[in-house]
Amino acid sequence: MAHYSSSPVLLATLGAVVIWILHKILQQWQRQRRYKFPPMVPGLPIFGNSFQMPLTQIEQAPWAQSLARRYGEMFTLRLGTSNFIFLNSSRVVTDLMEKRAAKYSSRNPMPFVQDLMSGGKRIVLMGYTDQWRDVRKVMHSILNSRQMTQFAEYQDLESKQLLWDYLDRPELWYRANQRYANAVILSVVFGRRLLLDDENLEPLLKQAEEMVKHLQPGSTLVDTFPALSKLPTWMQWWRAKGLRLYEESKRVYGKEVGRVRNRMAKGDARPCFAIDFLKETEKTTMDEDQKLFALGSLVEAGSDTSRMTMSQLIAAAVLQPDWVQRAREHLDRVCGGVGDDAKRLPRFEDKPDLPFITAAVKEGFRWYPFGPIGVPHMMSQDDEYEGYKLPAGTMVTWNMHHLSRSSDEYKDPERFWPERFLNEDLNNPLKGHWAFGAGEFSEYQTQKKGNVVREMLTQ
């Protein structure tokens, strides 16, 4: 009986899906006629290149690099219903994402990873909206010069712990990097130390891992075809999973925020970003979940990125050890005496005397950057560029791994060669590579990121 009564519903649903697909094909056809995109990579009807794009970062790097070599400075993919342009030279990244940042700085709709999994509240995934501006304003006002010294103190302490961990348990070096990156950011944001056996370490790492996994273009059907989010909720089989992940993030971040609030109530809280943030946002209408995600997003954004960069520096030291010898000579000179081994560990105050170390950190950002295909932005307005006509809603990214390994961009790009950064832009951490992104989103980041990694390297 149930079988017969469900047939009309099934038929109606199938009919609706077929009409929707035809509508999309028509829309796509009209769009391609009205606009002119950079060379399109051939793909399947309707699905475009959705199934060609590798889901892991390690496979994305050579894949996007080989397409750039074939198509030149720009190419276009079709992912579900979106056109996705890759920018393959610093010239076009600067022209579009930097100089026209106001048009190129939104984020594409992500019904799964942003709306469900993050309740629309992860700042890294927000569009160029009032909500983004409000959260960013508070964050920026706190992540200012005063915070720099706090970063420095925590990094100094944690990098000594890192050295101890390397010496004590060398086989756990990777885990030690992970702990270090998380510990620094946790100290800065939540004012507490983190040791290897901390009960919230795994759950915290898991939040960033889940986010990055689901963020990969093409990784979920509904983010590839956002129109599916209009289906009645009972038909959205992915919904329960998204909501479960959202609740889990709230639980994990809520635990950290709860601890800070308790310490604030007792009057024994160490100064940290969360205290300033909670006090500052009391004057605003920001809701509790947004507060949790603003603070948690900082931990997510700062941990994996720093850990990966440190691990790449270690890889570079193993694969091309010549630069390590030169780094060591510089450190010996500043922390010892001429012809001597270093007699002490370097300190933040030594930075001006250690340009080679600053250059090595920048080379680390360039040589193997985190996020090989960048973090896609979305165009909020139509635009024209060198004969192309691009509609609002187009996704645009900088082909980061390709840019860093292109001989049009860098002399001898495969070589880990810090000397390439010994120039007038040495102390501008954003100049000379694209590791921190392009345009409006990257501007946020300033000096602080460079320091996290530099401290580890100098020590």
Displacement of CA 382 from its chain's centroid (Å)? 26
**Binding pattern for the stretch 273-302 against ligand HEM, x by CB under 6 A and - elsewhere:** -------------------------x--xx
Size of the site for ligand HEM (CB under 6 A): 26
Q: Which stretch binds ligand HEM (CB under 6 A): 68-76, 220-228, 412-420, 435-443?
A: 435-443
103 within 8 A of 67, measured Cβ to Cβ: no
- Verify binding: residue 123, ligand HEM, rule CB under 6 A: yes
- Backbone φ, ψ for residue 216 (5° rounding): -60, 125
**Nearest approach, Cβ of residue 80 and ligand HEM (Å):** 20
**Residue 126 CB, nearest distance to ligand HEM (Å)?**
6
Residue 309 near ligand HEM by CB under 6 A: yes
Q: Residue 375, interface with ligand HEM (CB under 6 A)?
A: yes
| Residue 334 burial class via C-beta count within 10 angstroms: exposed 0-12, middle 13-18, buried 19 and up | buried
User: Could you say which of 166, 385, 388, 444 contacts ligand HEM (CB under 6 A)?
Assistant: 444
Sequence-distant (≥ 6) Cβ neighbours of residue 369 within 8 angstroms: 400, 401, 404, 433, 434, 435
Residue-wise burial string across 310-320, b where 16 or more C-beta atoms lie within 10 A, e elsewhere? bbbbbebbeee
Q: How many Cα atoms occupy the beta-carbon half-sphere of 115 within 13 Å?
A: 14
Question: Which of helix, strand or coil describes residue 19?
Answer: helix
**Within 384-403, which residues bind ligand HEM (CB under 6 A)?**
none
Rg (CA), the chain: 24
CB of 393 to ligand HEM, least distance (A): 17
Candidates 276, 449, 455, 457; binder of ligand HEM (CB under 6 A) is 449
Amino acid making up residue 126 = M
**Using rule CB under 6 A, residue 359 touches ligand HEM:** no
- For residue 301, the one-letter residue type is A
Does 104 interact with ligand HEM (rule: CB under 6 A)? no
Which residue, 74 or 185, has its beta carbon nearer to ligand HEM? 185
Q: Is 453 in the site for ligand HEM (CB under 6 A)?
A: yes
Kindly state the smallest distance separating residue 454's Cβ from ligand HEM, in Å: 10
CB 336 to ligand HEM: min, Å: 29
**Which positions from 156 to 195 touch ligand HEM by CB under 6 A, shown as an x/- string?**
-----------------------------x----------
Q: Whole-angstrom Cα distance, residue 326 to residue 331?
A: 9
Exposed (0-12), middle (13-18) or buried (19+): which is 207, by Cβ within 10 Å?
buried
CA dihedral 309, 147, 136, 399 (to 10 degrees): -20
Please state the separation of Cα 349 from the chain's center in Å.
29
Let me know: does 327 contact 364? Beta carbons within 8 Å: no
Give residue number: closest CB to ligand HEM: 437
Query: Smallest distance, Å, CB 127 to ligand HEM?
Result: 10
Nearer residue to ligand HEM within complex by CB, 38 or 374:
374
Please, which residue, 88 or 309, has the CB nearer to ligand HEM? 309
Task: Identify which of residues 334 and 452 has a Cβ nearer to ligand HEM in the complex.
Answer: 452
Interacting residues toward ligand HEM by CB under 6 A? 123-124, 136, 185, 298, 301-302, 305-306, 309, 370-371, 375, 435-439, 441-442, 444-445, 448-449, 452-453
